[in-house]
Amino acid sequence: MFFQGVPYTNATIGNNGAIVFGTTTAQIALNNTVMSTAANGLYPFWDDLAGNGGGLWQQTIGTAPNRQTIIEWEKERVGAAGNPIHFELIIDEATQEIYYVYDDVITGSLAYDNGASATVGLAGTNQDVQVSFNQATYLSENSCIHFVYTDCPKPINLVANSVLSDQATFSWSAGLAGETSWTVIYGPAGFDPTSAGTTVNSATNTISLVNLDQLTAYDIYVYADCSVGNQSLGLFGTFTTPPFCSNPTTMNNTTSTGSILASWTWTASSASYPATGFNVQYGVNGFDLYTGTVASSGTALNNIINDATLLSGAVYQVYVQAVCGTDTSAYVGPFSVIMPLANDSVCDAQLLNVDGTVYTFNNAGATVQLNEDIIAPPATGLQTTTGWVDSTLNLTTWFKFVAPTSGNVRINNTSVNYNGQVAVYSLTACTEFSTFTLIAANDNAIGGTSNAPNFTVCGLTPGNTYYLMHDGFSFIPGNYAISITPINLNAGAFNGVIDVCSGETANLFDGVSGYSTGGIWTAELVISGAGLNDSLFSSAGLAYDVFNFEYSITDGCAIDTSIAQVHIFGPSSAGNDGTVSVCRNEPFDLLTGLSGNMDAGGTWYNPSNQVTESFISAPNIPGQYNYDYITGNGVCPNDTSNVLVSVNPNCDFNGIEDLEVEHFTVYPNPSTGMVFITNEQSNEMYFFEVMDINGRMVYTSSMAVAGSSVTEINLTNTQPGMYFLRAFNDRSSKVFQIVLN
């Protein structure tokens, strides 16, 4: 800030919170006054202060030329008696600095607290500085105001003389110091002049900025250079460059059937960028710029667009763009136009695309044809697809569309909340209402709150043309919207059975392919305890079986479904661990060492972790040997069991004399169920057991076969097939193959 220095002697100190030089307090004892009307003076609290309070003090401390003058007020505010405020003024002789210090500015009245009715600042011969004027919060947020005298004040009155696409010219006035040298720094808006930007020095108060970019916002700072190393604060300004090819301004449009007559105004940005043409872009109401139809023209400021596809009564938006050689302006718009209404009768129905395009129409001037009321939909109520709330026709307009391959469409008018109603018909003659068949009708959106229709129509014949009547619910015309979208639902196709282990969770979407999202999953049958959460199915606690689920996706009356299957597998079971005692070199089946439920088809591993068969011969060396059985169903984790084979050192299968077992007889073989065993000419005692070809025990006996006795085995409840009968004792063993029919 620049403040004209004045002596602090011969000053008048006022109760009103001011110290005035060369005048009297009476001249300035007015509140609610801006600083520019004040006499020269310092105004820490320019307001009506009363004589009541602690007092008003003045003191000078220090010795010349380093003295400080302190003036302190403790006064009440007129109209807010009983609560004196307290503030002071400090003037430093050596530095010409001035301080306003506020200790307590609460008057006791919200109308006056914190300077709510006071002016704070200073006034001088060359400059007035107003800090606060009637601000209710300023002194609550700032307890000290510091004025600094400077010999290099910043310039004033920054003016943009010209701003072109790539250059600009600015001028300014010198500050109070009358400086004649300046530094100018400019750059993109928001840049930091202490570390960025372009710097230009000037000995005049005018500067030209070059190499600018079009359509860009810039900041500019002008600093006064008063002496070496003494520079002012920056005078700030901002500007935006126009395009090289200037934008058109106003645009006017008129219409006739199939035509739009557009006109506009345009002024070149400079002689270097004359117009070489103009582009007019247009499309349905709300279309995205650069996706519409472009009509180019010469340098004339108008264009006639002839387009037979412009729909009757439709609302279109129009933009215009200037072309300057290889450069173009921005598109200016949109400007709305309404085409003449010509589809007031069925035979003049306008063809609409079935692609979701949102068309906007206006039904001003629409009427009801003679006898048209005989095809009015029945009064089935609001939000139905079979009729309207009443059967009165008011402002009918007509359209037609071709049914898509799916035969299903959604008709949505809710882009504009116009209170209308829609009906769809098949017909054979547009002039004969007796040939009309009502297909569907809606008044107020299904499942919504809009007054405009929104419903689905299903079962249309693909490729056939259907007619759509839009009617205003009352005789009040306005804009309304129509959008017809094909409904192509795809619940996907069966993608194979999902295999899960019991307890796992399946994602049902893994069982279908090519599906659309947004549908729901349901169990084909009620499954007790089934955990179905959206597409996730928990198999915990369910039977080991195949379960079917249906995925359905719907849109109004249209629906598509697909099926997913989940096969739940039980945990793999290798049976319970066991022990087998055998003689050296004795043939035996490892499966005889397992018990409980076990899955067939597993793999046996010998003590060397090599794959082996189930039916093996015991080693010749006595001892204990571990064999592992591993089985799995390919879905659940594999299960492992162990058989400990104990080889008896006291017997050798190869050393058993043939006489020991050669007199065994098994008959009949084949058998229908009853099998008999004899052991003639031997006094040895033998036990026996019967196993199937998978090694599972199907019969065992604790009775011994002795001497010439006949032992009976009842296998009548055993499935037909091949079995192995093993007779054994601690010295010998023999296996017989038997067949059951």
Of residues 657 and 569, the one with the higher pLDDT is: 569
Structure tokens at 464: 């056939």
pLDDT band of residue 689 (cuts 50, 70, 90) is confident
Give the Cα separation of 493 and 513 in Å (integer).
5
Give the Cα separation of 668 and 114 in Å (integer).
122
pLDDT at 323 over 70: yes
Structure tokens at 309: 């596809």
Q: Which CATH architecture best describes the domain 656-740?
A: Sandwich (2.60)
Cβ atoms of 212 and 168 within 8 Å: the answer is: yes
pLDDT for residue 708: 63
Tens-digit pLDDT profile for residues 265-297: 999 988 888 999 999 999 999 999 999 999 998
- What average pLDDT does range 395-420 have in this prediction? 97
Which segment of 373-377, 593-597, 649-653, 685-689 scores lowest on mean pLDDT?
685-689
In CATH terms, is domain 493-569 a member of 2.60.40.10?
Answer: yes
Tens-digit pLDDT profile for residues 513-546: 999 999 999 987 766 546 788 999 999 888 899 9
Is residue 662 helix, strand or coil?
coil
Buried b (16+ CB within 10 A) or exposed e, 60-99: eeeeeeeebbebbbbbbbbebeeebbbbbbbbebeeeebb
Instruction: Indicate whether this model's pTM tops 0.75.
Output: no
Nearest Cα to 679, choosing from 737, 617, 618, 732?
732
Structure tokens at 59: 């003191």
Structure tokens at 269: 């940005």
Q: How many CA atoms lie within 13 A of 655 on its CB side?
A: 9
Give the Cα separation of 98 and 45 in Å (integer).
14
- What average pLDDT does range 347-358 have in this prediction? 97
What's the mean per-residue pLDDT of the chain? 88
Give the Cα separation of 52 and 47 in Å (integer).
14
Cβ atoms of 479 and 418 within 8 Å: the answer is: yes
pLDDT band of residue 345 (cuts 50, 70, 90) is very high
Structure tokens at 239: 């500007």
User: What order do you get walking across the sheet with 733-740 strand by strand?
Assistant: 697-706, 685-692, 721-728, 733-740
Give the Cα separation of 718 and 727 in Å (integer).
19
Which segment of 139-153, 243-257, 317-331, 333-347 scores lowest on mean pLDDT?
139-153
pLDDT for residue 9: 44
Residue 6, Cβ neighbours under 10 Å: how many? 18
Cis peptide before 65 (omega within 30 of 0): yes
Cβ atoms of 603 and 611 within 8 Å: the answer is: yes
Give the Cα separation of 40 and 6 in Å (integer).
9
Chain centroid offset of residue 422 CA = 34
Is residue 425 helix, strand or coil?
strand
DSSP string, 514-583: SPPSS-EEEESS--TT-EEETTEEE-TT--SSEEEEEEEEEETTEEEEEEEEEEEEPPP-EEE-EEEEEE
Structure tokens at 590: 């490892």
pLDDT for residue 694: 65
Instruction: Please report, rounded to a whole number, the percentage of residues in the chain having pLDDT higher than 70.
Output: 92
Give the Cα separation of 689 and 724 in Å (integer).
8
pLDDT for residue 666: 86
- What average pLDDT does range 486-505 have in this prediction? 95
CATH no. of 156-240: 2.60.40.10
Give the Cα separation of 42 and 101 in Å (integer).
13
Cα-based distances in Å from 729 to 169, 466, 506, 703: 121, 94, 53, 12
pLDDT for residue 739: 87
Give the Cα separation of 584 and 733 in Å (integer).
11
pLDDT at 4 over 50: no
Strands 302-306 and 327-328: unpaired
Q: Where are the domains of the chain?
A: 11-147, 156-240, 251-338, 346-486, 493-569, 574-654, 656-740
Amino acid at 294: V
Nearest Cα to 333, choosing from 322, 346, 342, 320?
320
Which residues make beta-bridge pairs with 328? 323
CATH no. of 346-486: 2.60.120.380
Give the Cα separation of 92 and 716 in Å (integer).
127
Cα-based distances in Å from 534 to 99, 508, 511, 521, 523: 72, 9, 14, 6, 11
Nearest Cα to 47, choosing from 174, 177, 135, 144?
135
DSSP string, 725-740: EEEE-SS-EEEEEEEE
Tens-digit pLDDT profile for residues 100-147: 999 999 988 888 999 888 999 998 877 788 899 999 888 887 789 998
DSSP string, 686-737: EEEEEEETTS-EEEEEEEEEETT-EEEEE-TTSPSEEEEEEEE-SS-EEEEE
Give the Cα separation of 200 and 661 in Å (integer).
122
Structure tokens at 73: 């007020």
Which segment of 127-131, 483-487, 652-656 scores lowest on mean pLDDT?
652-656
Is residue 591 helix, strand or coil?
helix
CATH no. of 574-654: 2.60.40.10
Radius of gyration over every alpha carbon of the chain, rounded to an integer in angstroms: 52
Cα-based distances in Å from 3 to 19, 283, 685: 15, 63, 133
pLDDT for residue 732: 67
Chain centroid offset of residue 597 CA = 53
pLDDT at 657 over 60: no
Strands 639-652 and 623-631: antiparallel
Strands 558-569 and 498-501: parallel
Give the Cα separation of 395 and 344 in Å (integer).
9
| DSSP symbol at 289 | T
pLDDT for residue 5: 32
Same fold: 251-338 with 656-740: yes
CATH number of 251-338, picked from 3.40.50.170, 1.10.10.10, 2.60.40.10, 3.40.50.2300: 2.60.40.10
Cα-based distances in Å from 334 to 182, 231, 247, 251, 478: 46, 50, 13, 10, 19
Give the Cα separation of 265 and 346 in Å (integer).
41
Report the run of H or E that residue 460 belongs to, with start and end.
none
pLDDT band of residue 658 (cuts 50, 70, 90) is very low
- What average pLDDT does range 455-471 have in this prediction? 98
pLDDT band of residue 705 (cuts 50, 70, 90) is low
Nearest Cα to 640, choosing from 685, 689, 598, 670?
598
Structure tokens at 107: 């008057």
Structure tokens at 370: 């003679």
Give the Cα separation of 529 and 532 in Å (integer).
9
pLDDT for residue 29: 39
